[in-house]
Amino acid sequence: MKLISRYTVMLLTFLLFLTAAAPAAFASGTTGSSTSGKKLVLGTSADFAPYEFHKVINGKDEIVGFDIAIAKEIAKDLGAELVIEDMGFDGLLPALQSGRVDLVISGMTPTDERKQSIDFSDPYYKSKQVIIVRSADKDKYPDMKALENAKIGVQKGSIQETIGQGIPGAKLTSLDKISDIVLQLQTKRVDAAIVEDTVAAGYLDDMIVLAKAVPDEEQVEAAIGIRKGNTELLTAVNKTLERLKSEDKINQMVTEASLLMADKVNKKQNIFQLFWQYKGLYATGIGYTLLLSALGVFFGVIIGLIICLFRLHNMAILRWIGTTYVEVIRGTPMLVQLMIIYYGVSLTFGINFTALQAGIMTLSINSGAYLAEIFRAGIQGVDRGQLEAARSLGMGRGAAMRYIILPQAFKAVLPAIGNEFVTIIKESSIISVIGMVDIMYQASVVKNLTFQGLNPFIIAAAIYFVMTFILSKLLGRLERKLGASDRR
């Protein structure tokens, strides 16, 4: 029990460290400055040019667009530093409701359904919906009736999804990112896509064009989402919007963002040129991926060892706890576990973990269940007579486990632990869905910057392969070194 207690103290220390860390310490992006130390956290989905999108400026990846320009004005009027949290569009409302962000600006339409969950500012921009198709199908859809029974791409949780649901027989493909929807259209997985006219302008070229069909919808308004009851911030936001409208600043911001959006990168870059130009983004992704994986496995080993000892203990309650943990964690998807830790804990208990904290905790908890079974197999593989011999020499059970059984078990299961490390490196890509700037997140950023759907991910795959290959070789050397004494 002393051994279990030590590891339990270490685990609790780790959890306290994560809980106490500053929520914005690993924010995906910041801008502006503030002498007061006050922060305004903005939630957005930065793939919605010219509203908000990634752009490399002076060699640095930045989130720009006229929504961001408006947010900067709001922060300036509040005397606060603007902190930008980039996430999926359908994750914006949960993030706002849980208090993870202070406001949401992402070209969001203030529908009656959304108003039940959050408050909205005065509208600041109007747009209309259009249908984009492949150039070969330009005349195939003269009106909305022609889209009946067609495969249509829309953004998940958007007004476009609602429009698509009203088309008889339409088969909708709902995705988080507009760029992914356009890729679906380019690769002939959908027949058409519904997007805003302002956004569509950034994707129109020789391959993607506007269809003659136009949704029978009036112009829709965009407004800023604010957590219900936060009347002070709502009043301040409306005051800034009123000032910007009176100065005709918003139209100017739209024009500037559209010009920035039109300044596209060279689509003909080969994969080596692409990697070299965006090597800084990939390097950042590698750093976070290694950090997530290393800490995930490190704390996973601690959790796994504790759960393993629980499962092997004489007390029925501890065996039940260990077995339940393993079965529940192995029986549920890691993505669900991530959503519970990142959003569920915040909504239920008011504890806001950053993307990095939630990622490390999810990987640790998930890895711990599998490592517990690996350790159990290793311990049970050691001859039971060795434990009995140690006890006969006067060693306590804890000391015997620590000095006799565990070292042998660890040597036996080292290949399996190494395999779990390799698996965690790859599975850490799941954390990108909550805005963690790992390799997959950065590959998506490069895809949105370059409008190339394949090369950014081939580069990411190559990076993952190199990382796991090197790790496998290092673990192989360690195994041979540890096994040298067995051959004497």
Q: Where in the chain is the domain with CATH 1.10.3720.10?
A: 2-18+274-487
Residue 26 clears pLDDT 50, i.e. is over it: no
**So what's the pLDDT on residue 28?**
40
**193: pLDDT strictly greater than 90:** yes
Antiparallel, parallel or unpaired: β 171-175 and 29-31: unpaired
Residue 453 half-sphere exposure toward CB, CA atoms < 13 A: 11
What percent of the chain has a predicted confidence (pLDDT) above 90? 46
Q: Is 385 exposed, middle or buried (0-12, 13-18, 19+ CB in 10 A)?
A: exposed
Checking 402-411 for CB contacts under 8 A at 24+ apart, the result is 402/3, 405/379, 406/379, 408/378, 408/382, 409/375, 409/378, 409/379, 409/381, 409/382, 410/378, 411/482, 411/483
Rounded (5°) CA angle 81-87-89? 115
According to the model, what pLDDT value does residue 80 have? Answer: 94
Can you give the pLDDT at residue 54? 87
Q: Dig out the tokens for 385 from the structure.
A: 């007579």
If you average pLDDT over residues 367-384, what whole number do you get? 87
What region, left, alpha or beta, does residue 72 occupy, with left being phi > 0 and alpha being psi -120 to 50 degrees?
alpha
Longest dimension (CA), the chain: 89
- pLDDT tens digits, residue range 37-46? 689 999 998 8
Q: Would you say how long the chain is, in residues?
A: 488
pLDDT tens, position by position, 316-341? 999 999 999 999 999 999 999 999 99
3-state secondary structure of 359: helix
Q: Where in the chain is the domain with CATH 3.40.190.10?
A: 32-125+222-263, 129-217
Those residues whose C-beta lies under 8 Å from the C-beta of residue 57, and which sit 6 or more positions away, are 64
CA 190 to CA 120: how far, in whole Å? Answer: 33
Tell me if 423 sits within 8 A of 417, measured CB to CB: no
Give the strand pairing for 103-104 and 39-44: parallel
| Lookup: tokens for 182 | 């356009």
Handedness of CA 156, 162, 163, 165 (dihedral sign): positive
Which CATH architecture fits 2-18+274-487?
Orthogonal Bundle (1.10)
Mean pLDDT of 97-122: 92
Under the banding of pLDDT at 50, 70 and 90, the label for residue 200 is confident
Q: Which alpha helices (H) appear in 331-354, and where do they start and end?
A: 334-339, 345-349
The topology (CATH level 3) of 32-125+222-263 is: D-Maltodextrin-Binding Protein; domain 2 (3.40.190)
Sign of CA dihedral 453, 459, 462, 468: negative
Which residue would you say has higher pLDDT here, 387 or 193?
A: 193
pTM: 0.73
C-alpha to C-alpha distance for 44 and 104, rounded to whole angstroms: 6
Query: What per-residue confidence (pLDDT) applies to 88?
Result: 81
Q: What is the mean pLDDT of residues 182-200?
A: 91
Q: Which residues, at least 6 apart from 332, have a Cβ–Cβ distance to it below 8 Å?
A: none
120 by DSSP, 3-state: which?
strand
Give the whole-angstrom CA distance, residue 32 versus residue 182: 32
Q: What local confidence, expressed as pLDDT, does residue 36 receive?
A: 44
- If you average pLDDT over every residue of the chain, what do you get? 85
| pLDDT one-digit tens code per residue, 249-297 | 998 998 888 888 766 555 567 888 889 888 888 999 999 999 999 999 8
CATH superfamily of 129-217: Periplasmic binding protein-like II (3.40.190.10)
For 77, residues 6+ apart whose C-beta sits below 8 A from its C-beta are 236, 239, 240, 243
